[in-house]
Structure 1
Amino acid sequence: MTDVTALEARIARLEHELAIQQDIEQIRKVQYTYGYFIDKSQYNEVVDLFSDEGEVWFLGGIYRGKAGVRRLYIERFQGTFTQGHNGPRYGWLLDHPQLQMVIDVAPDRRTATVRGRSMMQAGLHESAEGAQRAWWEGGIYDNRYVREDGVWKIARLGYFPFWHGTFADGWAKTPIDYIPFTKTLYPEDPLGPDAFVEPTPRLWPATDIVPFPYPHPVTGKPIAIDNSRAREGFKD
């Protein structure tokens, strides 16, 4: 290999590494913006973050394609939380901080994985219309991204809400299956998912590990998952 050939190869490698770092920043921007949109119930804008073939995994259900994504965010969430209004409503708190994001871009720069978490504060003020409530929630994201025409979009928003607790009592007294999972698919349930997540996730006090989409960062080996004791207190 001549000096010129070696230099060309080095430049190409550096350009590729720089492009991946730029991809990571663009993906982080999309993911963080998702959190800001959800905070203020900007559900129309949330839907626009997704690929046409995108999907959402939420409370044991899979909502597929733009039609499924719209069904969840606009028909269900917007209809329930803001009475059909695209944007915040008086007295409604729904903060979704986006935390601990680990972003991995594939070598071909066409796809990426994102693992992260949200620790949510939510509730309705006593002066607002509706039943006053306040709760905490925490969950893990296991997301997939796709680059289409140079733009990174969400291919899968996989949110696994692990724990809930009222502001007054905390999470130690959360009832089993506090948030019921959907049992009926679309179209039998007009707001239901297109399919169920397998295996079926469980909420706190279950403590399952969501599988990591990347290997151990030091050993390079797949990260072992042992959920054998994660649900031992449940009586199915």
Structure 2
Amino acid sequence: MMRRIMTSAVIAAALLPSVPAIAQASVEERIAAYRQRVERLEDQAEIEKLQSLYGYYFDKGMWSEVADLFADQGTFEYGQRGVYVGRQRIERALLLFGPEGLGPKRLNNHMQLQAVIEVAKDGRTATGRFQGPVMLSEPGAQARWGVGIYENRYVKKGGTWLIASLHFYPTAWTDYDQGWLKSQLPMEGPSALYPPDRPPTEVYRALPSNYIPPFSFRHPVTGEEITVVQPADDVVGRD
């Protein structure tokens, strides 16, 4: 056990810059601090893996596997479609994106890039921001390109990280054939077939509007909150 603790301390010291307060602490305090750092790094790796698995499952229409990644009362929100609460509701809502198992001639790629993951000091909750390029196609309909931002929350239950809330903000859609200059498509609203549990948490428009989803983390250098000044938009009532 002591060998594992010392190994964790060495790894943490190599990955992270030294902190004067830790350097002046006792050996026991330094080992405890390094061990906590290693745990937080492991948490970040597990969350990034969790989000990557969400992407792979979502891409292939594996809706039950996607829903199982959420906490019991986890929430799923995609653009302006509204909020679905709980695994069963989320799994049914995912059918709005296509059949279970991704039918023939369908493409549903949602990539998870540029991860910024912040784990709380107690190691119980976390946030994650990701860039999300999208490629879609379905039989009898034109293919689309898309791009957006994920702002997610996570919770650790019984030693396992789960998605507490997933919020994908599509920021632009276009026809594959026409491209961004000629085609700027609107987002879909709430489904009449399977209405959401709650309305959208934020009302905004995709391109040609240039909406920026709020940041869940502070600036890494200044430590200040990142203030996003949104462009005026008469359609949604934002001055």
- With normalisation by structure 1, the TM-score equals 0.84
Deviation at 1:12, TM superposition (A): 0.5
Higher mean Cα deviation, 107-116 or 190-199?
190-199
Q: Are 1:16 and 2:36 counterparts?
A: yes
Residues 198, 97 of structure 1: CA spacing in aligned structure 2 closer, same or farther, 3 A cutoff?
Answer: closer
Deviation at 1:199, TM superposition (A): 3.4
Q: Are 1:180 and 2:188 counterparts?
A: yes
Please list the CA deviations of residues 34-67 of structure 1 after superposition, one character each: whole Å capped at 9, or x if unmatched.
Answer: 1111111111100010000100122221111223
Cα distance in 1, alignment partners of residues 59 and 197 from structure 2: 25
Identity of aligned residues (%): 34
Give the conservation status (yes or no) of the 8 Å contact 1:32–1:98.
yes
Cα distance in 2, alignment partners of residues 59 and 199 from structure 1: 9
Equivalent residue in structure 2 for 1:145, among 154, 158, 181:
154
Give the alignment of 1:61-210 within 5 angstroms.
61-74=82-95, 76-77=96-97, 81-82=98-99, 86-124=100-138, 130-175=139-184, 178-182=186-190, 189-210=192-213
Deviation at 1:235, TM superposition (A): 8.4
Amino acid at match of 1:67: Q
Q: Structure 1: which 5+ runs fail to align?
A: 125-129
Deviation at 1:142, TM superposition (A): 0.4
Give the conservation status (yes or no) of the 8 Å contact 1:55–1:68.
no
Find the residue that maps to 1:131 and give its secondary structure.
coil
Cα distance in 1, alignment partners of residues 112 and 171 from structure 2: 15
Give the conservation status (yes or no) of the 8 Å contact 1:140–1:162.
yes
Runs of 4+ in 1 over 3 A off after TM superposition: none
Please list the CA deviations of residues 144-169 of structure 1 after superposition, one character each: whole Å capped at 9, or x if unmatched.
Answer: 00000000000001001111001111
Higher mean Cα deviation, 213-222 or 191-200?
191-200
Please list the CA deviations of residues 159-183 of structure 1 after superposition, one character each: whole Å capped at 9, or x if unmatched.
Answer: 011110011111223356x23312x
- With normalisation by structure 2, the TM-score equals 0.83
Cα distance in 1, alignment partners of residues 115 and 101 from structure 2: 26
Aligned length: 213
